[in-house]
Amino acid sequence: MLNIVIFGAPGSGKGTQSERIVEKYGVTHISTGDVLRAEIKKGTELGQTAQGYIEQGQLIPDSLMINILGCVLDSIKESKGVIFDGFPRTIPQAEALDKLLAERGQKVTVMIDLEVPEQILIARLINRGKQTGRADDNEETIKKRLQVYHTQTYPLIEWYKEKNKHYAVKGYGELDDILTDICAIIDTAQK
Protein backbone atom coordinates (compact mmCIF):
# COMPACT_ATOMS: atom_id res chain seq x y z
CA MET A 1 0.00 0.00 0.00
CA LEU A 2 1.23 3.39 -0.98
CA ASN A 3 0.23 6.18 1.39
CA ILE A 4 1.51 9.52 0.22
CA VAL A 5 1.12 12.77 2.11
CA ILE A 6 1.30 15.66 -0.34
CA PHE A 7 2.23 18.71 1.66
CA GLY A 8 2.73 22.41 1.08
CA ALA A 9 1.34 25.87 1.65
CA PRO A 10 -1.97 26.94 0.07
CA GLY A 11 -1.31 27.35 -3.65
CA SER A 12 1.70 25.01 -3.69
CA GLY A 13 0.04 22.75 -6.27
CA LYS A 14 -1.00 19.82 -4.06
CA GLY A 15 -4.29 19.29 -5.90
CA THR A 16 -2.76 19.60 -9.37
CA GLN A 17 0.04 17.14 -8.68
CA SER A 18 -2.31 14.77 -6.80
CA GLU A 19 -4.38 14.33 -9.95
CA ARG A 20 -1.27 13.32 -11.88
CA ILE A 21 -0.09 10.96 -9.14
CA VAL A 22 -3.53 9.31 -9.13
CA GLU A 23 -3.23 8.76 -12.88
CA LYS A 24 0.23 7.23 -12.61
CA TYR A 25 -0.07 5.10 -9.47
CA GLY A 26 -3.81 4.41 -9.27
CA VAL A 27 -4.06 5.57 -5.67
CA THR A 28 -7.20 7.13 -4.19
CA HIS A 29 -7.17 10.91 -3.81
CA ILE A 30 -8.43 12.29 -0.52
CA SER A 31 -8.57 16.08 -0.48
CA THR A 32 -10.03 17.24 2.81
CA GLY A 33 -10.69 20.68 1.29
CA ASP A 34 -12.73 19.03 -1.50
CA VAL A 35 -14.62 16.93 1.06
CA LEU A 36 -15.54 20.07 3.02
CA ARG A 37 -16.50 22.07 -0.09
CA ALA A 38 -18.78 19.20 -1.17
CA GLU A 39 -20.49 19.31 2.24
CA ILE A 40 -20.98 23.07 1.91
CA LYS A 41 -22.51 22.58 -1.53
CA LYS A 42 -24.89 19.94 -0.17
CA GLY A 43 -25.86 22.31 2.65
CA THR A 44 -25.25 19.76 5.41
CA GLU A 45 -24.71 20.66 9.06
CA LEU A 46 -21.05 19.77 8.69
CA GLY A 47 -20.88 22.02 5.63
CA GLN A 48 -22.35 24.92 7.55
CA THR A 49 -19.85 24.47 10.38
CA ALA A 50 -16.95 24.17 7.94
CA GLN A 51 -17.97 27.22 5.93
CA GLY A 52 -17.39 29.60 8.83
CA TYR A 53 -13.83 28.40 9.37
CA ILE A 54 -12.96 28.25 5.67
CA GLU A 55 -14.19 31.78 4.97
CA GLN A 56 -12.12 33.04 7.89
CA GLY A 57 -9.04 31.24 6.57
CA GLN A 58 -8.95 29.17 9.77
CA LEU A 59 -8.56 25.41 10.21
CA ILE A 60 -11.49 23.18 11.08
CA PRO A 61 -10.94 21.86 14.66
CA ASP A 62 -8.75 18.75 14.82
CA SER A 63 -11.30 16.47 16.49
CA LEU A 64 -13.88 17.16 13.77
CA MET A 65 -11.37 16.87 10.94
CA ILE A 66 -9.96 13.59 12.28
CA ASN A 67 -13.47 12.13 12.50
CA ILE A 68 -14.16 13.14 8.92
CA LEU A 69 -10.94 11.54 7.71
CA GLY A 70 -11.75 8.31 9.57
CA CYS A 71 -15.15 8.18 7.81
CA VAL A 72 -13.58 8.83 4.41
CA LEU A 73 -11.01 6.07 4.96
CA ASP A 74 -13.78 3.67 5.97
CA SER A 75 -15.65 4.45 2.77
CA ILE A 76 -12.74 3.32 0.56
CA LYS A 77 -13.32 -0.23 -0.57
CA GLU A 78 -10.40 -1.50 -2.60
CA SER A 79 -7.42 0.67 -3.15
CA LYS A 80 -3.73 0.60 -4.03
CA GLY A 81 -3.22 3.31 -1.46
CA VAL A 82 -4.09 6.91 -0.81
CA ILE A 83 -2.74 10.34 -1.57
CA PHE A 84 -3.59 12.62 1.34
CA ASP A 85 -3.97 16.18 0.06
CA GLY A 86 -4.53 18.84 2.72
CA PHE A 87 -4.31 16.43 5.63
CA PRO A 88 -2.56 16.47 8.05
CA ARG A 89 -2.36 20.20 8.74
CA THR A 90 -1.45 20.03 12.43
CA ILE A 91 0.67 17.72 14.59
CA PRO A 92 -2.40 16.15 16.30
CA GLN A 93 -3.75 15.37 12.81
CA ALA A 94 -0.44 13.73 11.82
CA GLU A 95 -0.53 11.62 14.99
CA ALA A 96 -4.13 10.68 14.25
CA LEU A 97 -3.26 9.73 10.67
CA ASP A 98 -0.54 7.37 11.90
CA LYS A 99 -3.05 5.82 14.28
CA LEU A 100 -5.81 5.49 11.68
CA LEU A 101 -3.39 3.84 9.25
CA ALA A 102 -1.89 1.58 11.94
CA GLU A 103 -5.40 0.35 12.78
CA ARG A 104 -5.60 -0.70 9.13
CA GLY A 105 -2.15 -2.31 9.18
CA GLN A 106 -0.63 0.54 7.16
CA LYS A 107 1.65 3.54 7.48
CA VAL A 108 2.64 6.74 5.69
CA THR A 109 5.12 5.86 2.93
CA VAL A 110 6.43 9.37 2.22
CA MET A 111 5.62 13.00 2.83
CA ILE A 112 6.27 15.16 -0.22
CA ASP A 113 6.74 18.83 0.55
CA LEU A 114 6.12 21.16 -2.39
CA GLU A 115 8.34 24.19 -1.81
CA VAL A 116 7.13 27.40 -3.46
CA PRO A 117 8.18 31.01 -2.68
CA GLU A 118 5.45 33.05 -1.03
CA GLN A 119 5.16 35.59 -3.88
CA ILE A 120 4.36 32.77 -6.31
CA LEU A 121 1.83 31.25 -3.88
CA ILE A 122 -0.04 34.54 -3.56
CA ALA A 123 -0.07 35.15 -7.32
CA ARG A 124 -1.37 31.61 -7.98
CA LEU A 125 -4.12 31.90 -5.36
CA ILE A 126 -5.32 35.30 -6.58
CA ASN A 127 -5.39 33.94 -10.10
CA ARG A 128 -7.33 30.82 -9.01
CA GLY A 129 -9.80 33.04 -7.15
CA LYS A 130 -10.46 34.99 -10.34
CA GLN A 131 -10.88 31.84 -12.40
CA THR A 132 -12.92 29.68 -10.04
CA GLY A 133 -14.54 32.17 -7.68
CA ARG A 134 -13.36 30.08 -4.72
CA ALA A 135 -14.53 32.02 -1.67
CA ASP A 136 -11.26 31.80 0.29
CA ASP A 137 -9.02 32.82 -2.63
CA ASN A 138 -9.22 36.55 -1.95
CA GLU A 139 -6.30 38.66 -0.81
CA GLU A 140 -7.39 39.05 2.81
CA THR A 141 -8.18 35.37 3.39
CA ILE A 142 -5.06 34.27 1.49
CA LYS A 143 -2.92 36.24 3.98
CA LYS A 144 -4.69 34.56 6.92
CA ARG A 145 -4.31 31.10 5.38
CA LEU A 146 -0.60 31.63 4.84
CA GLN A 147 -0.24 32.76 8.45
CA VAL A 148 -2.14 29.68 9.65
CA TYR A 149 0.13 27.55 7.46
CA HIS A 150 3.27 29.02 9.04
CA THR A 151 2.13 28.69 12.63
CA GLN A 152 0.11 25.46 12.64
CA THR A 153 1.13 23.42 9.58
CA TYR A 154 4.80 24.22 8.91
CA PRO A 155 5.96 22.42 12.12
CA LEU A 156 4.93 19.16 10.44
CA ILE A 157 8.05 19.40 8.27
CA GLU A 158 10.26 18.81 11.31
CA TRP A 159 7.87 16.12 12.58
CA TYR A 160 8.19 14.11 9.35
CA LYS A 161 11.94 14.82 9.12
CA GLU A 162 12.37 13.15 12.50
CA LYS A 163 10.64 10.10 11.05
CA ASN A 164 12.83 10.19 7.90
CA LYS A 165 9.76 10.58 5.72
CA HIS A 166 10.13 14.19 4.59
CA TYR A 167 11.11 14.82 0.96
CA ALA A 168 11.21 18.34 -0.44
CA VAL A 169 10.45 19.07 -4.08
CA LYS A 170 10.78 22.37 -5.96
CA GLY A 171 7.10 23.13 -6.51
CA TYR A 172 7.37 25.73 -9.27
CA GLY A 173 8.52 25.68 -12.87
CA GLU A 174 7.29 23.12 -15.40
CA LEU A 175 4.50 20.87 -14.09
CA ASP A 176 6.11 17.85 -15.76
CA ASP A 177 9.45 18.49 -14.04
CA ILE A 178 7.73 18.69 -10.66
CA LEU A 179 5.95 15.41 -11.35
CA THR A 180 9.22 13.75 -12.40
CA ASP A 181 10.82 14.74 -9.08
CA ILE A 182 7.81 13.48 -7.13
CA CYS A 183 7.75 10.15 -8.98
CA ALA A 184 11.46 9.60 -8.34
CA ILE A 185 10.79 9.91 -4.60
CA ILE A 186 7.77 7.59 -4.68
CA ASP A 187 9.55 4.98 -6.81
CA THR A 188 12.54 4.90 -4.46
CA ALA A 189 10.32 4.72 -1.37
CA GLN A 190 8.36 1.82 -2.86
CA LYS A 191 11.48 -0.35 -3.40
Among 7, 87, 160, 167, binds ligand AMP (CB under 6 A): 87
Kindly indicate which of the ranges 19-27, 50-58, 100-108, 161-169 contains the residues binding ligand AMP, using the contact rule CB under 6 A. Answer: 50-58
Q: Would residue 37 show up in a list of annotated catalytic residues for this protein?
A: no
Residues 123-142 that bind ligand AMP (CB under 6 A): 136
Q: Is 153 in the site for ligand AMP (CB under 6 A)?
A: no
What one-character-per-residue DSSP string does 5-30 give?
A: EEEESTTSSHHHHHHHHHHHH-PEEE
CA distance 131 to 18: 20
Would you call 104 a catalytic residue per the annotation? no
Candidates 27, 60, 83, 110; binder of ligand AMP (CB under 6 A) is 60
Does position 86 interact with ligand AMP (CB under 6 A)? The reply is: yes
For the chain, how far is it from start to end, CA to CA, in angstroms? 12
- Catalytic residue chosen out of the listed positions 24, 37, 80, 89: 89
Question: Does 59 sit near ligand AMP (CB under 6 A)?
Answer: yes
Angle (deg, nearest 10), helices 91-103 and 62-75: 30
Q: Which of residues 172-191 bind ligand AMP (CB under 6 A)?
A: none
Tell me whether residue 14 is one of the annotated catalytic residues: yes
Tell me the residue ranges of DSSP E strands in 27-151.
28-31, 81-85, 110-115
Provide Rg for the chain, Cα atoms. 16
Does the annotation count 99 as an active-site position? no
Helix (H) or strand (E) holding 4: strand 2-8
Burial class of residue 133 (count of CB atoms within 10 Å of its CB; 0-12, 13-18, 19+): exposed
Active site residues: 14, 89, 128, 134, 145
Footprint on this chain of ligand AMP (rule: CB under 6 A): 10, 32-33, 36, 53-54, 58-60, 65, 86-87, 89, 93, 136, 145
